[in-house]
Structure 1
Amino acid sequence: MRKNIVAGNWKMNKDYGQALTLINEIKEGKPASNAEIVLATPFPFLAKAVELVEGTDIQIAAQNMHQAEGGAFTGEISASMLTSIGVHTVILGHSERRAYFHETDALLANKVDTALKHDMTVIFCFGEELKDRQSNNHFNVVEYQLRDGLFHLKNEDWKHIVLAYEPVWAIGTDETASPEQAQEMHAFIRNLIQKVYGTDVAENVSILYGGSVKPDNAKEIFSKPDVDGGLIGGAALNATDFFGIISGI
């Protein structure tokens, strides 16, 4: 059975003290839920975050990593660096990495391969821009991103993959895909995977929705049969809001 997951992507927010406070608030106040909770903190806080959540069911994730094993890549972080401090989950392909840092599907495929080589779980992000949806090209964009980024994998690799559909037009804009739009796309994604990898892989991969999820809309979005949780941005920076979203699953 696929997992329900609520992942908080902190992006480039919080200083060290604020980060520790928020992690402790989430650890101590997290409501009972059947969802797996993931916190993707900035790089400087990862080791301490792993220490703080030890013994809990909270997972710590990195927001990115380099595709190389090591070398002269100033400012970059490798998979082995992450796993050496107890981080075994990484977000790859976030729309901001694609847009601001020009990450291509080919590059992301390499990153995925490196992460899997180190037995990491990958939260793989993808989604269309507003112009794609307005031109009714959104299904094609999503299909190409998945095919080019992930469809070189073997069936057994998919147990380490979590998908995160994030319509770019709904990230940080207060615009949200309707629950029906989210379900339509998630069903399309699952059907696409089924055609390529079979029913077992398709039914067991978790597909998260990311795009201005808030406590007041989370329950309706998460109630859809092919939506298995959320990749949360701004609302993950406040424990009360994050708890409200977790309670919606």
Structure 2
Amino acid sequence: MARQFFVGGNFKMNPASRKDKVALVKLLNEAELDPATEVVVSPPALYLIPVKESIRKDIKVAAQNCYFKDSGAFTGEISPAQLVDSEIPYVILGHSERRTIFHESSEIVAQKTRAALDKGLNIILCIGETLKEREAGETAKVCEEQLKAVVDVLKENDWSKIVIAYEPVWAIGTGKVATPQQAQEAHKDIRSYLSTAVSFAVAGSTRIIYGGSVNAANCRELSTLPDVDGFLVGGASLKPEFVQIVNSKKL
């Protein structure tokens, strides 16, 4: 089944200033990007609306997180309803930094996913194992456990609005990258799990993207793998090489 290639740029808590933000948007606005690739960028919450209003229309914008309540006394949080009202179409949920630094459980991620879908948002759902878990041979087990919490609260047709980002925690921001064989094996296992846990159709249509120190040097080879449908890019999304990563399918 044909799946549209997807490249997301997770700016995390960057850029450091409004001036840098403007320069980054200018770079993307002037770049020649592969029209066959869906491109989504995720700036910090403070910059969501300015970026959405200034970036070219063929690039979508994502929030980096949201809560599972529509409103209330939840200081520091953003609701799915507020994102929809602000015409932000995507949200990243379950990123390893949310899971490890802010101790979000898979059950909390599932709650957020359900709430975001109920408001009509598209989800970039992150899963992945630590170095200790990989060395113990638990990659597939960890990914399945993290996915199961979401599977349990979703209906089959919800999956059309979800992109799964496989992010080996040991490869995020470390410069280490899963080998093509490791990436393909993990993505194939995830697709196999979806086939049994949800349906064969969902397994075939759901995009599974790779995140873990993707850069201009390795994106081309990774993009050719049969079960890798794109990338979630961290540090490189702040640099000119992000354009090369977006265009990796036609390099």
How would you bin the TM-score normalised by the shorter chain?
Answer: over 0.9
- The structural deviation recorded for 1:196 is 1.9
Distance 1:73 1:30 in 2: 41
Q: Is 2:230 aligned against 1:244?
A: no
Secondary structure of the structure 1 residue equivalent to 2:123: strand
Q: Is 2:109 aligned against 1:108?
A: yes
- The structural deviation recorded for 1:151 is 3.6
- The structural deviation recorded for 1:213 is 0.4
Q: Is 2:100 aligned against 1:99?
A: yes
Q: Is contact 2:151–2:197 with CA below 8 Å preserved after alignment? A: no
Secondary structure of the structure 1 residue equivalent to 2:126: strand
User: If the length of structure 2 is used for normalisation, what is the TM-score?
Assistant: 0.96
2:79 is matched with which residue? 78
Mean Cα displacement is larger for which, 226-235 or 8-17? 8-17
Secondary structure of the structure 2 residue equivalent to 1:149: helix
Q: Which amino acid aligns with 1:196?
A: A
State the percentage of identical aligned residues: 42
Q: Is contact 1:97–1:103 with CA below 8 Å preserved after alignment? A: yes
- The structural deviation recorded for 1:33 is 4.3
User: If the length of structure 1 is used for normalisation, what is the TM-score?
Assistant: 0.96
Q: Is contact 2:121–2:161 with CA below 8 Å preserved after alignment? A: yes
Q: Which amino acid aligns with 2:38?
A: E
Mean Cα displacement is larger for which, 148-157 or 197-206? 148-157
Distance 2:150 2:156 in 1: 15
Match of 1:20 among 7, 19, 22: 22
- The structural deviation recorded for 1:163 is 0.1
The residue correspondences of 1:199-218 to structure 2 (distance < 5 A) are: 199-218=200-219
Distance 1:82 1:152 in 2: 21
Secondary structure of the structure 2 residue equivalent to 1:216: coil
- The structural deviation recorded for 1:53 is 2.7
* Cα-to-partner distance string for 1:81-130 (whole Å, 9 max, x where unaligned): 11111101000000000011100011111100110011000000010000
Runs of 4+ in 1 over 4 A off after TM superposition: none
Secondary structure of the structure 2 residue equivalent to 1:215: coil
* Cα-to-partner distance string for 1:176-218 (whole Å, 9 max, x where unaligned): 0001110001011111101122221111100000000010100
Distance 2:183 2:105 in 1: 24
Distance 1:151 1:23 in 2: 38
- Structure 1 residue runs of 5 or longer lacking an equivalent are none
Q: Is 2:186 aligned against 1:182?
A: no
1:44 is matched with which residue? 46
Secondary structure of the structure 1 residue equivalent to 2:41: strand
- The structural deviation recorded for 1:3 is 1.9
- The structural deviation recorded for 1:31 is 2.6
1:198 is matched with which residue? 199
Q: Which amino acid aligns with 2:181?
A: E
User: What is the RMSD computed on CA atoms of the aligned residues?
Assistant: 1.1
Distance 1:162 1:216 in 2: 24
2:37 is matched with which residue? 35
Secondary structure of the structure 1 residue equivalent to 2:202: helix
